[in-house]
Chain A
Amino acid sequence: MRFEFQQARWDEPLLNEKSRKGRVGASIPPWDDVREVSTLLPEGMLREELNLPELSEPEVVRHYVRLSQMNFGTDSGIYPLGSCTMKYNPKINDRIASHSTLTRMHPLQPEDTIQGVLAMMYELQEALCEIGGMCACTLQPAAGAAGEFTGLLIARKYHGSRGDHRDEIIIPDSAHGTNPASAVMAGFKVIEIKSAPDGSVDLDALKGALSERTAAFMITNPSTLGIFEKNICEIQQACHDAGALLYYDGANLNALMGISRPGDMGFDIMHYNLHKTFSTPHGGGGPGAGPVAVTAELAKFLPVPVVVKEGNTYKLDHDRPDSIGKVKGFYGNVGVLIRAWAYIKTLGAEGLKRTSELAVLNASYIRSRIESVYPVPFNAPSKHEFVASADFLKENGGSAKDVAKMLAERGLHPPTNYFPLIVSEALMIEPTESETMEELDRFCDALLDIAKSDPEEWKKAPRTTTVSRVDDITAAKNLILNWNQLPRE
């Protein structure tokens, strides 16, 4: 087997293994009045031993350059991880967020010294409300799950303010794992409902689950299967008739910008994943940002403070007696928010709509090329992502995991596997609008090639990545979570 891809492999030691006594990697400004350290601390609080590695600056740089070469990002190639929207992260956004006025701006500076940044935050709040069809917005939550938690606290407070004690959240079985986890953190009981045979919300199951105890129904639309919820109007009606709120998980908003707005569908609360839909880098797991927007009726419950505009002045409004309080320190991940502001400014209304159209076009293109081999279990048209099944490989001992590893050895990041849980050997594919047709073809060709490949080869993959198949079972059984726990060799 020959591959056109070979990832870098450096036998790069850990920082502590590279350490040599006496080396320093940074210069510290001078200071004359140095005191005796033992006089600076209460009795018994002086540190006895400090184990930090000792490296010079070139060694630190080389270390991280080598690590980066052993990593794959969206800047390396296609990264069609379903529900994660791994789109291109525009470089101008990083430049703006690195502006030295922002990087040295302290969160407790007086409002009159930060008018420009408050203006950006205000404009972002307004733009997100417009895109979502909502009325008011908070930028505070640090990630999508934090947004869900915030939204559910708002639901809790809303019902409580009406003397209505509702303690259940209904969630479809295809939902992201964060949905039930956030519901529990906000003090609710989770009622899971099964999806209908076509992958949509089972309206009868929903109606059966709704009661005077239901605080909210949480869904993504399009669903995690990439399917637009055909019964959204009936769902909305049923929830509101039962006195429940409707929550929109914004993880899949990249399908619908400028096409259809959650607010117009009847959603009461939604969160946005700025690190998905609005192009901010995922950073190997974070930071992200998960703003939450709500209808006019719920606006008073948003966390404090909210950025408001009075005349030509921007203010942080802390005087909101019905607010749920706070969900994160200060005002949110401002460095991330600014990037999303720049992205929306760059694209405008038409550019955002075109983004969603092309995201759906790209996903539909892949689907049309592979579905005769990798069946898509639900027949409905898909949007920005779809879920195919690698179940047919089972008869020869293969799995979705094998497909993932074989894609990796061809230099293509695999799709999400084994999610949603309702599809056997799931491959959840979301290419985003950022990929060229040629890259999509390369991805499809690889998938089709894998399906025809010799089963003898499957478990050998991946052979061209930095390491071959990683033993995650031993990792969990024999925990090594820092370098002091590594066996001496």
Chain B
Amino acid sequence: MKVYSSDRSTDQSSSKRIKVGVADYAVAEAGSTLVTSGLGSCVGIALADVDAGVAGLAHAMLPYASDEQDGDGGAGDATGDEPTDDRPAGAKYVNTAIPGLLHSMEETGADRSRIEARLAGGSAMFEFSSGDGGVGERNVVAAKTTLETYDVPLVATDVGGDYGRSLSFDATTGELSIRRAHGENHVI
């Protein structure tokens, strides 16, 4: 019997719509579209090697895996490093999602030197008194820094603001379409 795994890159045929969950990433080949919804302070990191026809989209919640270790049973401790389900390990954090996604893309045939990045999300919708705030902004900074570390050029961004975004990433063209609750779709 075929065992279902999170490696959704292996059985993609043409013109498929692949859903990326929260704290999740997926790889797709040309002809497919990667979608993810409901980015608030989360960031969507869209990577593509258009020549190879390989694209990847990550939906990360928090900036750094190592920064968030502040409690028992919480994110970042022994249990926090394991995905709670079939989502790829490390997909919850920007600094681990990016290398994980790059690796999956290379396995699918992407060439690291051709991969370009687009970034969306990281908004500041609320000001909470309890949190130390600015998770959205910190997610954006972490994404930019991590992409730089891995020498991936960031070609376009749509970040910040005080509204949510849903994304649709065309694996053929590398175009990232951004939808808000109100107003026109925006393509970067």
Partners in one complex: no
Interface residues, chain B, CB within 8 Å of chain A?
Answer: none
Interface residues, chain A, CB within 8 Å of chain B?
Answer: none
